[in-house]
Every structure is written in structure tokens, then in C-alpha cells.
Amino acid sequence: MSRLVSFLLLIYSYFLIRTNLPKLPSRIPTHFNSAGAANGWGSPGSLWLILGAQALTCAIFLAVPLLGRRYPDAVHLGLRRLSDFPAPRRAGILAMIERMVGYLNVVLNLFFVFMLRGIIQAAEQPVPHLHIFWPVVLATGATAAILWYYLAKFRNLGKGEGGTAIRVTR
């Protein structure tokens, strides 16, 4: 489901740019200081770079579970690699990884959508200003919550019955 939501947000970003590009001025704000005031300018075509970054991060997040299936030594879960776990447990762990990166992907895509909308709205103002506080707080908070939840789950993977740690031998 998170893949679908991420894909729909990516498509939304595309149409957001496509529909607003003709009505944007020839110079739009592309960088903002911490107060939200524009301090860097570029062409409206630079919005495509943001979409490209959004698509690239989507692809990276989608590649993590595939990487885990193909190269379990490359995926680390704290102090252990995915390959340290018995093959029957890897499927469950990979499913957890897939859910985690799916949720992170949705959060990041939402942040990109908020940024694109904010830049487009700022470009249409006489004095460009970007209101970034809430998107940053929501993205940071949601990312921290997702990571905290799944890191706790990954930490508990190494514990067996009675809370004793499972010894990994090579």
C-alpha cells in the first residue's frame, strides 16, 4: 500500500509542476533562509530537479528490500547483518524492512509535495516566503517515530525465549 501511495504522490508532484509551470514567472525562488525568505533564484524548470530528487529517493527506498533479498550481507540491522539470521527468519525480517522503508518513503514524498507546493506558492507572491515549519516538524517527527518503532523491533529480533540473546556464529 505504501508503494502505491508513494507512486501517487510522485504522480501528483508531476502534475503539480506540469499545471503550474506555464503560469510561473521566469524567475522563481529556489532557496530560502531559516526565516523562510527567498535568498536564491532560478528558472521554473528547476522544479523538475526537485521531482527528479523525489523519484530518485523513491527508487532508493524501493531498492532496499530488493537489495536485502539479493545480497543479505549488505543489509545491516544494528550489530547484525541480515545474513546472520537463519533463512526462514529472513523473510519476516525483510517484510519488516519493506514496511519500514515504505512508510519512510511516504513521509519523504509528502515532504517533497509540501516543498513543491510551497515553492510554487512563494513564486506567485510579490515577496516570496516559504512556510516550512510544519512540514519539517511533521517529516522529522514521523521519520523519528518510524525509525524508533522499527529499530526497537530489530533490536528484539536477536532475543530468543526468555529475553536471552541468540548467539550468532559464522
Look up the pTM and report it.
Answer: 0.84
Per residue of the chain (170 residues), what is the pLDDT tens digit? 889 999 999 999 999 999 999 999 999 999 998 888 999 999 999 999 999 999 999 999 989 888 888 998 888 877 788 888 888 888 888 999 999 999 999 999 999 999 999 999 999 998 888 888 888 899 999 999 999 999 888 877 766 533 444 444 44
C-alpha cell at 2: 505504501
- Distance separating alpha carbons of residues 150 and 97, to the nearest angstrom: 8
